[in-house]
Chains A and B, each alone.
Chain A
Amino acid sequence: MNQSSKGISNWLLLLGVIVLSVTPLIFLKGAEFTGADGQAAEVIGKVKPEYQPWFKPLFEPPSKEIESLLFSSQAALGAGIIGYAIGLYKGRSQQQRNKE
Chain B
Amino acid sequence: MLRIILTSKRASLLLMGVLSFYVVVSAAAPAYGMHIMEGYLPPAWAAFWWLVALPFMILGVRSLTRITKANPELKLLLALAGAFTFVLSALKLPSVTGSCSHPTGTGLGAVLFGPLAMSVLGTLVLVFQALLLAHGGLTTLGANAFSMAIAGPFAAYWIYHWTMQLTGKQKTAIFLAATLADLLTYVITSVQLALAFPAPVGGFIASFAKFAGIFAITQVPLAISEGLLTVLVWNWLQSYSPQELEILQSIKGKPQTHESI
Contact = CB atoms under 8 A, between A and B. Distances in A.
B31 interface: yes
A9 B235 CA distance: 9
A77 B200 CA distance: 45
A40 B193 contact: yes
Contacts of A93: 239-242
B205 to A, nearest CB: 13
A35 to B, nearest CB: 2
B134 A61 contact: yes
Contact of B99 (A6, A35, A59, A98): A35
B-side interface mostly: helix
B43 interface: yes
Q: Which size bracket describes the interface of B in this complex?
A: 35 or more
Contacts of B99: 31-36, 39
Contacts of A70: 132-133
Nearest to B199: A47
A16 B228 contact: yes
B39 interface: yes
B52 interface: no
B211 A68 contact: no
B72 interface: no
B142 interface: no
B28 interface: yes
A40 B213 CA distance: 10
B27 A34 contact: no
A7 B215 contact: no
B6 to A, nearest CB: 10
B112 to A, nearest CB: 12
Interface string B94-105: 111111110000
Contacts of A39: 99, 214
B51 interface: no
A53 B40 contact: yes
B31 A37 contact: no
Contact of A59 (B34, B134, B218, B235): B134
Interface in A2-59: 3, 6-7, 9-11, 13-14, 16-18, 20-21, 23-25, 28, 30-41, 43-44, 47-48, 51, 53-59
Given A16-B224, A40-B211, 6 more contacts: A13-B231, A20-B225, A67-B31, A85-B76, A89-B244, A90-B9
29 contacts: A3-B239, A13-B229, A14-B22, A16-B224, A20-B225, A21-B94, A31-B99, A35-B92, A36-B34, A37-B32, A37-B37, A43-B210, A44-B197, A47-B207, A51-B42, A53-B38, A55-B39, A58-B138, A60-B134, A68-B31, A71-B31, A71-B90, A75-B86, A78-B86, A79-B19, A79-B23, A89-B237, A90-B9, A92-B240
